[in-house]
């Protein structure tokens, strides 16, 4: 995993609350990691849904359904 040149900016924006996340504020690696598992990163979810750590597409659809 390469060091991200945008990490300081990403640190301000990253909403992931998963403790010990190895991809925290490294958006490229985070996105690739989650997509490989058929998931989305925590930043795609509203805060209350992100805290469940369920990153599935189904959880995403449920979180944003009206």
Q: How far apart are CA 33 and CA 24, in angstroms?
A: 12
The residue behind tokens 């805290």 is 51
How confident is the model over 7-27, as pLDDT tens digits?
999 999 999 999 999 999 999
pLDDT grade, residue 3 (50/70/90)? confident
pLDDT grade, residue 58 (50/70/90)? very high
CB atoms near residue 54 (< 10 Å): 14
pLDDT for the residue 17 = 95
Q: How far apart are CA 25 and CA 27, in angstroms?
A: 6
In the chain, where the domains are located:
26-66
pLDDT for the residue 4 = 84
């Amino acid at each position: 995993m390469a060091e991200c040149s945008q990490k300081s900016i990403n640190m301000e924006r990253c909403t992931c609350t998963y403790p010990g996340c190895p991809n925290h504020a490294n958006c490229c690696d985070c996105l690739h990691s989650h997509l490989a598992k058929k998931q989305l990163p925590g930043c795609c979810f509203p805060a209350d849904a992100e805290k469940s750590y369920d990153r599935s597409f189904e959880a995403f659809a449920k979180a944003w359904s009206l």
